[in-house]
Amino acid sequence: MAYDDPRLAADAIGRRASLPADDWASRPGDPVPVVPAAVESGTDVPATRGRNRGARAIREVVETLLLALVIFLGVRLVVLNFRVDGLSMSPNLHDGEMLLVNRNAYARFSFNDVLNLLPGEDRPDGRILWEFAPPERGDIVVFEPPLNDPDKPYIKRVIALPGETVTFRGGEVYVDGKQLDEPYIEDGITRCDRGDECELTPAEGEVVVLGDNRDNSADSRSFGTVDVDAIVGKAWFGYWPVEDIGLVPHEDYPDMPERPGDSGQ
Report the phi/psi class of residue 96: left, alpha or beta, with left for phi > 0 and alpha for psi in -120 to 50: left
Report CA torsion sign: 39, 40, 43, 45. negative
- Verify whether residue 152 is a known catalytic residue: no
Give whole-number Cα distances, 20 to 13, 14, 24, 25, 27, in Å: 13, 12, 7, 9, 11
Per DSSP, the three-state class of 78 is: helix
At CA 251, angle to CA 247 and CA 83, rounded to 5?
A: 45
The residue annotated as part of the active site, out of 90, 156, 217, 234, is 156
The residue annotated as part of the active site, out of 18, 26, 88, 178, is 88
Report how far residue 133's alpha carbon sits from residue 234's, in angstroms, rounded to the nearest whole number.
Answer: 11
What are the phi and psi torsion angles at 24 (to 5°)? -60, -45
The residue length of the chain stands at 265
Give the rounded distance of the alpha carbon of 51 from its chain centre.
Answer: 40
Report how far residue 42's alpha carbon sits from residue 46's, in angstroms, rounded to the nearest whole number.
Answer: 12
Give the rounded distance of the alpha carbon of 39 from its chain centre.
Answer: 57
- Verify whether residue 156 is a known catalytic residue: yes
Residues serving a catalytic function are 88, 156
